[in-house]
Amino acid sequence: MNNPWKSIKLSDYENHMQLDNIMQLQVLNSMMHKQLKSYSVDNVMILGVAGGNGLEHIETEKYNTVYGVDVNSEYLQELENRYRNLEGIIKCICIDLISETEKLPSCDFIIANLLIEYIGYNCFQKVIKQVKPKYVSCGIQVNTSDEFVSDSPYLHSFDGLNSIHHQIEREELIKSMHDIRYKLVSIKEYSLPNGKKLLQTDFKNSVI
């Protein structure tokens, strides 16, 4: 099955996400800023990086490698165009995490915001076991109804996502990470204007 993210225009995604009644692009940007400052690491892997929202917060004196992972090659091309100042630091990886997990390199820190919803707990566990990071920071959406995509003029651009969407619950995510020896270190909530929330859960490898 072809991944529906490959056919969604980046402009539709970003214009939808930054609408005043949604504001997820803005909140995710703020979240990313905090995530990038959270741990003493010099490399990070951002899963579902899209057009690179939040990469302006990369401190070049802190990070020497930033892996940007996405299934849509056009998103990654736009990312490279936008962040030419990070040339030599950003390394884009265009893969489908569901079927090509083994292509991921090792990395100390994974950021996965609004990503687990589209690959599920088991696949995310596979990703973590492949990359073996010291730290993992996940942003998941807490919905107020069964509709995970908010109403907007761009709504129908996302119709295909129903086929791959997984409802992610906080306690189940914590359990799935505990099962692969990652312990919860913090939880933060970010409120959105339409009543939804973004929940950031951070984990640390309990073996390393």
Question: Domain range for residue 166?
Answer: 4-52+60-205
Q: Return all residues near 99 (Cβ < 8 A) that are at least 6 apart.
A: none
146 φ, ψ (degrees, to nearest 5): -75, -15
Dump pLDDT digits (tens) for 112-166: 999 999 999 999 999 999 999 999 999 999 876 556 677 778 887 888 898 898 9
Kindly report the number of other CB atoms within 10 A of residue 161's CB atom.
16
The three-class DSSP label of residue 84 is helix
**Number of domains observed in the structure of the chain:** 1
The three-class DSSP label of residue 184 is strand
Per-residue pLDDT for 104 more than 60? yes
- Predicted structure pTM score: 0.95
Dump pLDDT digits (tens) for 59-75: 999 999 999 999 999 99
Output the average pLDDT for the chain: 93
- Tell me the mean pLDDT in the region 39-61: 97
Query: The domain that contains 153 carries what CATH number?
Result: 3.40.50.150
- Give the closest residue to 43 by CA, choosing from 92, 90, 93: 90
